[in-house]
Amino acid sequence: MVKIAVMGYGVVGSGVVEVLTNHSENIARRAKEEISIKYILDLRDFPGSPFGSKFTKSFETILNDPEVKIVVEVMGGLHPSFEYVKACLEAGKSVVTSNKELVAAKGAELLKIAQKNNLNFLFEASVGGGIPIIRPISQCLAANDVVEIAGILNGTTNFILTKMIREQMTFEDALALAQKLGYAERNPAADIEGSDACRKICILASLAYGKHVYPEQVHTEGITKIALADVEYAAAWGGVVKLIGQVRALENGKLQIIVCPMFIPRESQLATVDDVFNGIMVRGDSTGDVVFYGKGAGKLPTASAVVADVIDCVKHFKARKYLYWEDGSEDYVEDYRLNVISMYVRAKTEDEAVALKNVKQIFGEVTRLSRKNAENGEFAFVTNSMKEEEILTKLEKLKSMGICVENTIRIGNL
Amino acid sequence: MVKIAVMGYGVVGSGVVEVLTNHSENIARRAKEEISIKYILDLRDFPGSPFGSKFTKSFETILNDPEVKIVVEVMGGLHPSFEYVKACLEAGKSVVTSNKELVAAKGAELLKIAQKNNLNFLFEASVGGGIPIIRPISQCLAANDVVEIAGILNGTTNFILTKMIREQMTFEDALALAQKLGYAERNPAADIEGSDACRKICILASLAYGKHVYPEQVHTEGITKIALADVEYAAAWGGVVKLIGQVRALENGKLQIIVCPMFIPRESQLATVDDVFNGIMVRGDSTGDVVFYGKGAGKLPTASAVVADVIDCVKHFKARKYLYWEDGSEDYVEDYRLNVISMYVRAKTEDEAVALKNVKQIFGEVTRLSRKNAENGEFAFVTNSMKEEEILTKLEKLKSMGICVENTIRIGNL
């Protein structure tokens, strides 16, 4: 019998308790030991809960109980999660977490403590919810060099974009609907401004390339500037707008990594990842493209990933799982303005003929896009491939000619 | 340093040697030990091969060498693979295989020997090539009851169907092209008649539900009867024709399992799995639908899955991986005619008005389908849901009325 503690009884925490309870027999068979919840840490009261006797408000009770071998951290946020997890690892307890903010900020540090103490620190649920992705990258793809990872990593923004694409909802209406349905929080900033997706691509990049990438190193743009006009131009171009997290290893040893909306061609396997679903493409030099698809969030999917990690902990008390990356460094991420891309540009002018002449003079040949409901003086085009900094300079020049650049979106090179 | 032997130096075998050689440093880091190939078993000669000194034609040399701890079986076929693998396991060597025929026919027996001797018998590459699927099902989904698995499990037939759907090629032309491109063998029977897909769904079903399903228990239909007319009617219906392997647990403890072409709605995540790609949907009670997508065959994808298993063997010499299912039983699979489905029917008649009256009289309301190039007297419809045996009886009645039923395809209930 292995005793564990669950820290946090919110959506995921209560899901973990539910899955452990409902599947206890199956889980015991897989883990080869019974798993029993000794404590549930939460500052709130849950009168009438069948788990009443397990609740505690004292972290120290858990920390100081030598019977507790595994601690599940599903509180979220960076503090006090970090301090608690660190203390648990230092006290000889393995830790399982779903907390992407924690792993993205402190992964290398916590993995180091786990390694030193011969413990496991597992976080399958931190990316992709119930989609197995951490394990496949770390294990199955061990015989590959990872060429690239690109994914739709945030279900909330994908839901909003899907509503804009399929039902011509505005961003504001789609966000309001997402909030009504419980897909978006009242403060949706972390989702719609891209920082949730950023944390996840940081975790995947750190794992795949062995060195920590910190969220603040990654150029991140959300979807708040996407208008219906952009969605329509994407369709005219032959694709859809998706919020993509993408990372590639460069030959100079640095990473090319970015989170931003992109035009994705309709034929791409990621283009059909709709609604709250996530899709993650891992390109290996041997396997080619492998795509993982499923619900990237939600109580039970996330909880089942947490429980799978708990089972793995139980099975690997002696043989530690290989999961490790080293500290990051300041110059590890290439300036995104050095990436070679092509860019969609939506602009407005008073004199279209002159504007187009200017565009041609500045950018050379471009691909014009059109849409049915274009406003007066509106025009859109896609540039050829060049360094982003070059595009930015050219756009400044365009603006100086009195052309109003209303939005730009990168063309996904997946 | 761990010494291994590779039995079979065909496409996959040479890929395994290539991956082990090219990624040796990375692999040693993951496995925490160097992995060295001591023998390559093949009856052919490979003059000039850089691995010349490792080749042997004698299985006994491998079997009797106590230094060889892991044997990779990539010869294919049932004999002598089965005898060799069994002997290796009995001699205390772990075995990794990509041989789906072997696992589908003898999995339970070989897993039992492996368990008895505390060895690993791993076969990630037997399903989905380089797509991680065995491990995710056995590990990540440990906290789930698997409700259903459905997948496009054979790349060759999926390539043929894609050519028929996208380029209006006939089955014969598409098959010839697949052979020319090396996607189909000169004798393509195992692919186009569905037995390859059948072996794979048997392996997944055995793993997910813990009890062996033998290929001969599974009703299997290939794609040889699919005509362009059917592809066009599928489009009119709102979907595509795909060769699907599907398994579900029934409440009576039996399995509902089948391999056959199905109409799949365009919105399904499996509908966009095209060309030689495979896509496998695993529906868990907690995770919901998780889909795995990638190249289901090919030298390097398959080899990299084999090598990942070898690494896992090295890491788990002491702690055996949990991978096990028990022997099957005769009545474990439900008669497919008891499944409730709806059916697409394409027929011909000399008097359409009378025929349609008869269809209505026999089947009740049906959904008529139409296509541009319909031949004279041709008509097609989709029945309501009912037991398949009921549909079959009704079709016999239809035939007795002089209506020529040219093809039937099940509507995928995914």
Mean pLDDT in each 10-residue stretch from start to end of chain A (414 residues)?
A: 97 95 88 94 95 96 98 96 98 97 98 94 94 85 87 97 96 96 91 98 96 98 97 97 97 97 94 94 92 91 94 80 87 97 96 93 96 94 98 97 96 90
Residue B276, CA distances (Å) to A285, A288, B128, B203, B385 in order: 18, 12, 11, 20, 32
- Answer whether B308 sits within 8 Å of A141, measured CB to CB: yes
Q: For position A140, what pLDDT does the model report?
A: 55
Task: Give A27→chain B minimum CA distance, Å.
Answer: 6
- Residue ranges of A 332-391 with Cβ closer than 8 A to chain B: none
- Answer whether A288 sits within 8 Å of B294, measured CB to CB: yes
Q: For position B228, what pLDDT does the model report?
A: 97
CB-based contact (8 Å) between B132 and chain A? yes
A276 to chain B: which residues are within 8 Å by CB? none
DSSP helix/strand/coil, A208: helix
Q: Which of A240, A304, A322, A325 to mutate to test the interface with B (most CBs of B within 10 A)?
A: A304
Active-site positions of A?
Answer: 200
Residue B144, CA distances (Å) to A246, A298, A301, B322, B412 in order: 30, 15, 9, 16, 24
Task: Give A265→chain B minimum CA distance, Å.
Answer: 13
- Answer whether B135 sits within 8 Å of A131, measured CB to CB: no
In the chain, the amino acid numbered B35 is: I
A15 to chain B: which residues are within 8 Å by CB? 286
Q: Which residues of A260-288 are buried (b: 16+ CB within 10 A; e: fewer)?
A: bbbbbeeebbbbbbbebbbbbbbbbbbbb
| pLDDT tens per residue, range B266-305 | 989 899 999 999 999 999 998 999 999 998 888 999 999 9
Mean pLDDT in residue range B363-391: 96
In the chain, the amino acid numbered B257 is: I
For the annotated binding site of A for NADP(+), the residues are 7-14
Task: Give B338→chain A minimum CA distance, Å.
Answer: 29
Q: For position B141, what pLDDT does the model report?
A: 60
The answer, yes or no, to whether the previous bond of A80 is cis (omega within 30 of 0) is yes
- Separation CA B286–CA B214 (nearest Å): 28
Q: For position A144, what pLDDT does the model report?
A: 86
- Separation CA B400–CA B397 (nearest Å): 5
Assigned token pair, B45: 């000669």
> How many other C-beta atoms can be found within 10 angstroms of the C-beta atom of residue B373?
9
Which residue of A26, A272, A289 is in closest CB contact with B272?
Answer: A272
DSSP helix/strand/coil, A256: strand
CB-based contact (8 Å) between B303 and chain A? yes
- The answer to whether residue B319 scores a pLDDT higher than 70 is no
- Nearest residue of B to residue A23 by CA position? B143
Q: For position A108, what pLDDT does the model report?
A: 97
Q: What is the DSSP letter of A57?
A: S
- Nearest residue of B to residue A137 by CA position? B132
Assigned token pair, B181: 């491109």
- Answer whether A290 sits within 8 Å of B132, measured CB to CB: yes
Q: What is the mean pLDDT of chain B?
A: 94
- Nearest residue of A to residue B138 by CA position? A30
Q: For position B231, what pLDDT does the model report?
A: 97
- Answer whether B132 sits within 8 Å of A23, measured CB to CB: no
A289 to chain B: which residues are within 8 Å by CB? 293-295
Which residue of A15, A295, A319 is in closest CB contact with B288?
Answer: A295
A141 neighbors A118 (Cβ within 8 angstroms)? no
Q: How many residues belong to chain B?
A: 414
Kindly indicate the confidence band of residue B321, based on its pLDDT and cuts at 50, 70 and 90.
low
CB-based contact (8 Å) between A139 and chain B? yes
- Residue ranges of B 257-296 with Cβ closer than 8 A to chain A: 269, 272, 284-295
Predicted-complex ipTM score: 0.90
Which residue of A27, A142, A295 is in closest CB contact with B143?
Answer: A27
CB-based contact (8 Å) between A25 and chain B? no
- Separation CA A219–CA A201 (nearest Å): 11
- Answer whether B27 sits within 8 Å of A143, measured CB to CB: yes
**How many Å separate Cα B342 from the centre of its chain?**
24
Task: Give A30→chain B minimum CA distance, Å.
Answer: 7
A145 to chain B: which residues are within 8 Å by CB? 23, 26
Active-site positions of B?
Answer: 200
- Answer whether B288 sits within 8 Å of A32, measured CB to CB: no
- Answer whether A130 sits within 8 Å of B305, measured CB to CB: no
A26 to chain B: which residues are within 8 Å by CB? 142-143, 145
Q: For position B140, what pLDDT does the model report?
A: 55
DSSP helix/strand/coil, A84: helix
Q: For position A318, what pLDDT does the model report?
A: 67
For the annotated binding site of A for NADPH, the residues are 100
- Answer whether B292 sits within 8 Å of A293, measured CB to CB: yes
Residue B254: φ, ψ to 5°: -90, 170
**For chain B, what percent of residues have pLDDT higher than 70?**
98
Largest CA distance in chain A: 77
The 3 state secondary structure assigned to chain B is CEEEEEECCCHHHHHHHHHHHHCHHHHHHHHCCCEEEEEEECCCCCCCCCCHHHEECCHHHHHCCCCEEEEEECCCCCCCHHHHHHHHHHCCCEEEECCHHHHHHHHHHHHHHHHHCCCCEECHHHCCCCCCCHHHHHCHHHHCCEEEEEEECCHHHHHHHHHHHHHCCCHHHHHHHHHHCCCCCCCCHHHHCCHHHHHHHHHHHHHHHCECCCHHHCEECCCCCCCHHHHHHHHHHCEEEEEEEEEEECCCCCEEEEEEEEEEECCCCCCCCCCCEEEEEEEECCCEEEEEEEECCCHHHHHHHHHHHHHHHHHCCCCCCCCCCECCCCCCECCHHHCEECEEEEEECCCHHHHHHHHHHHHCCCEEECCCCCCCCEEEEECCCEEHHHHHHHHHHHHHCCCEEEEEEEECCC
Q: Is B10 flagged in the annotation as binding?
A: yes
HSE-CB of A181 using CA atoms within 13 angstroms:
15
Q: For position A143, what pLDDT does the model report?
A: 82
B300 to chain A: which residues are within 8 Å by CB? 285-288
Which residue of B32, B141, B307 is in closest CB contact with A143?
Answer: B307
| pLDDT tens per residue, range A269-319 | 899 999 999 999 999 998 999 999 998 888 999 999 999 999 989 987 766
B326 neighbors B211 (Cβ within 8 angstroms)? yes
Mean pLDDT in residue range B368-380: 94
- Nearest residue of B to residue A314 by CA position? B319
**How many Å separate Cα A239 from the centre of its chain?**
22
CB-based contact (8 Å) between A17 and chain B? no
Q: For position A319, what pLDDT does the model report?
A: 66
Q: For position A210, what pLDDT does the model report?
A: 92
Mean pLDDT in residue range B334-360: 95
- Answer whether B143 sits within 8 Å of A304, measured CB to CB: yes
Assigned token pair, A199: 């944390």
A247 neighbors A201 (Cβ within 8 angstroms)? yes
A167: CB partners within 8 A, 6+ apart: none
Q: For position B327, what pLDDT does the model report?
A: 96
A240 neighbors A224 (Cβ within 8 angstroms)? no
A289 neighbors A249 (Cβ within 8 angstroms)? no
State which H helix or E strand residue A409 sits in. strand A404-411
- Complete domains list, chain A, with CATH: 2-129+300-315 (3.40.50.720), 136-295 (3.30.360.10), 338-411 (3.30.70.600)
- Answer whether B132 sits within 8 Å of A136, measured CB to CB: yes
Mean pLDDT in residue range B223-249: 97
- Answer whether A287 sits within 8 Å of B307, measured CB to CB: no
Which residue of A292, A304, A322 is in closest CB contact with B30?
Answer: A322
Ranges assigned E (strand) in A127-199: 146-152
B4 neighbors B71 (Cβ within 8 angstroms)? yes
| pLDDT tens per residue, range B102-154 | 999 999 999 999 999 999 999 999 999 989 999 889 875 678 889 999 999 99
